Amino acid sequence: MKNNDLMTIVTVALTTAVLTVINFWPATLDADDHDTTPTTTIAQPKLVARGIEMALATAHGRTFGAGEEPLLELTAANTTGDPATVSANLALTSSSPSDMMSRVPRLPKALWQQNLPIALQPNETRTFTIPVPVKLPPTSMIAVTLGETHPNEATADANPDAKPVPHRAGLPPGGIVALRFSTAAPVLQTASNK
């Protein structure tokens, strides 16, 4: 190989390396000079119905596993200057992982549901502790939904002729998934599966 050929190869390699570094240098990829560090805070879902803002959490921030009965806390705040009432619908569903050979996901199974009437004075905030008398199934995704009870459903006991409004099981119309967690056992990292 001639000296001239070797010099050409080295020049092309160095030029390519310099152009690559310049194009992919982090400062040249930014569209602006603002700090784009993502926030680590995840906003808690809230439902506003009839002027009452509702948020759901586990009691004392506790996590629950398989075989345990969860304890929930519903915080309701009247954001209006007038007395307000609402009937909150809480529902707990579980869905297990689908089979490896199945292309159809499993539908959630309703485990528990409760209507909770809430009446608040102007600008009042109250916290309700709600025990769930159901043991959580193992290896499942648990979802707790929060919604407003439809007036026909709230008066079904008083009026037996009233027809309930049909909706998907587990999620009331206009409802939100307020909590989601898993009862699957965590996979431990060992030296053999790193």
Distance between CA 71 and CA 166 in Å, rounded?
28
- Classify 159 as helix, strand or coil: coil
| Mean pLDDT, residues 43-72 | 91
Under a CB-based contact definition with an 8 Å cutoff, are residues 43 and 99 in contact?
A: no
Where are the chain's structural domains?
Answer: 1-32, 46-182
Q: Which amino acid is at 146?
A: L
pLDDT for the residue 107: 86
% residues pLDDT > 70 (the chain):
74
Count of CB atoms within 10 A of residue 189's CB? 8
Domain 46-182 is of which CATH architecture? Sandwich (2.60)
Strands across the sheet with 52-58, in order? 46-49, 52-58, 71-78, 125-131
pLDDT digits (tens, 9 = 90+) for 112-121: 999 999 999 9
pLDDT digits (tens, 9 = 90+) for 119-131: 999 999 999 999 9
Which of 119, 111, 109 has its CA nearest to residue 86?
119
pLDDT for the residue 114: 92
pLDDT for the residue 91: 92
